[in-house]
A and B are shown apart, each in its own frame.
Chain A
Amino acid sequence: MAFAKNISAIDQGIKNELAQKGIVIATLNDLYNWGRRSSLWPMQFGLACCAIEMIATACARYDIARFGAELFRPSPRQADFMIISGTVTKKMAPLLVRLYNQMPEPKYVLTMGACAISGGPFIDGYNVLRGIDRYIPVDVHLPGCPPRPEALLYGLIQLQKKIDSQEIEKCEWYQKGLKRVYPVPEYGPHGLIPKYNPEVWRPRQEELRKQRYGQPILTGKKTKAPHLDVVTTAPSS
């Protein structure tokens, strides 16, 4: 992931010269982004297995506080970014979109683990959403099942880099008429309606999964039960 460098108008030579005399000069952008990236408040909620690794990251050994993101807020209205840590089921997805809508600008999303990115190992499940990026925009994807705490810290650093690359004059949350509120999907008879938000995500023309793996080997449900007249094991105790 590469972000454009935030080009400072100040010459590096002058900066160094002044720094030797104890004077630090910075652009407003630098200062603004430094403040924002140094105290990111994540939203405190866990979905599945990855949440445990998220808690481990917040604990003493990995200590996410070193990166300024230790203050987990239970309310979306106080949070800066959201760590989607775990499998998003179709029952949970509308609630996640609602939580995203309630977050104040500027807001970021970090998906943690394979399930939140694409469904992961549970992609064949009838109740599993194949990636939360179908409904809300995602800034950092963090693969792994579950990702190690170091990986989460790396993802956080990537998010900080993204924040550093943004400019105060051009940032979209100060523009007029911006409303990053996405429609909440509804429960339908065959999954969620709509299936994805076309503003955020569009299906690929070619299906990569089919290309790579061929048709998935699914035998389907057999209708006839096996004849169990020979009981192999007696019920224990």
Chain B
Amino acid sequence: MDEKTVTVQDTNPMDTETLEVNFGPQHPSTHGVFRMNIVLDGETIVSVKPVMGYLHRNHEQIAENLTYAAVMPYTDRLDYFNSMANNFGYALAVEKLARIEVPERAQYIRVIMAELTRLVNHVSVIGFLLNDLGAFFTPVLYAFREREKILDIFEAISGSRMMCNYFRFGGVKRDVSDADLEQIRKIVQKFPAFLDEFEALLTKNEILCMRCQNVGVLPPDLAVNASITGPVLRASGVNYDIRKVDRYSIYERFSFRIPLGDKGDVYDRYYVRILEMRESVKILEQALKGIRPGEFIHPKSTSFLKLPRNFKPPVGEAYGRVESPKGELGYYLVSDGTPQPWRYHVRSPSLINLTVLEDLCVGHKVADAIIILGSIDIILGELDR
């Protein structure tokens, strides 16, 4: 850090000196190993400089030396809260590249899993946001109670709690049993009651309103120009959801609405997430009704899953994108006809959503910077990759 030397002559005694504060990387509220250099005038923020790279794990470089199938477990570790959504995006990209068909039942299973991860992610993010607001750990206990129930499903289906590695090109790894579907139905039925409980404690809470309303306002034109996606964009009132725009997989079969905020402050970002969870529950109910017995993976793709080095997509490029709970998660692949991707790039929503951090924080108090960061919802594994 540069130390500014201020001589006595050129300061007015009434002027205040700016103070440079270093947040993180070891700080409980930076959501991992993120670091911010904040310049403060009194308690007001003058500038914010994010410092990244403390969790740069060379995801892309490692993936370019692996076979296509072997990259799948690495995508779990990008955004470790919602591994299924990461799998989804990567599977879509490779399926576009190699033109693989996905059977009907697999599509339904994929949508169910992706929406369940959205519930996990949003509920945990709201818990951590409240954590940052000073309600230390109590909301997280509620949130993780629900998270554990969904993780039990993931464990029963894929064999792992967090790092599911469940999607395959042309389907999913194994079938979902009727007992598991019944379990998912039970969770989905009870989830609105939990949301009501959560909202009764939080939504009209005066402290929450005072702290969150009119803090970190993101105007819609700035949000669009900075290519912000996900709940952060929709809280600013821009109607853009990849599930509606791109209609990947079978999302056009479900009727659901896109919740939009009108101001774009921290409170809107919180409330959009709550509403999005309610819409996810709607999608889940429809998907659980519509799912029929059938193949869970395309019969052709089982052959190259056994011999992953024989899987050589044709020369070309593909971009697969999904609406991950954080925003647009895109995978760009360039194939040169060998078993390894020639170029592999991840468009991570955490990194791109973070670019407006300074615009949101300047002018607010230092305590607000933490909740603004919490409301953007970054995950360092995806941010630094």
Contacts and interface: CB of A to CB of B under 8 A. Distances in A.
B316 A125 contact: no
Interface in A73-90: 74, 76, 86-87, 89
A148 B317 CA distance: 38
Interface residues of A, number: 51
A87 B74 CA distance: 13
A227 B57 contact: no
B373 interface: no
A148 B161 contact: yes
A90 to B, nearest CB: 9
Interface string A28-39: 000000000000
B141 interface: yes
Contact of A49 (B137, B334, B381): B381
B148 A52 contact: no
A237 interface: yes
B192 interface: no
B74 A226 contact: no
B226 interface: no
B174 interface: no
A27 interface: no
A237 B73 contact: no
A227 B336 CA distance: 8
B337 A226 contact: yes
Contacts of B163: 49, 145-146
Interface string A96-120: 0001000000000000000000000
Contact of A222 (B33, B62, B80, B342): B342
B176 interface: no
B53 interface: yes
A236 interface: yes
Interface in B302-348: 314-319, 321, 334-338, 340, 342-343
A133 to B, nearest CB: 19
B355 interface: no
B211 interface: no
Nearest to B27: A74
A228 B315 contact: yes
Contacts of B380: 48
A237 B245 contact: yes
A121 B314 CA distance: 28
A232 B321 CA distance: 16
Nearest to B144: A59
Contact of B32 (A51, A59, A128): A51
Contacts of A89: 53-57
B61 A125 contact: yes
Closest 10 CB pairs of A and B: A125-B58, A232-B316, A226-B336, A49-B80, A59-B144, A45-B26, A122-B57, A74-B28, A92-B54, A233-B96
Interface of B: 25-28, 32-33, 53-58, 61-62, 64-65, 73-74, 77, 80-81, 96-97, 99, 137, 140-141, 144-145, 147-148, 161-163, 245-246, 314-319, 321, 334-338, 340, 342-343, 380-381
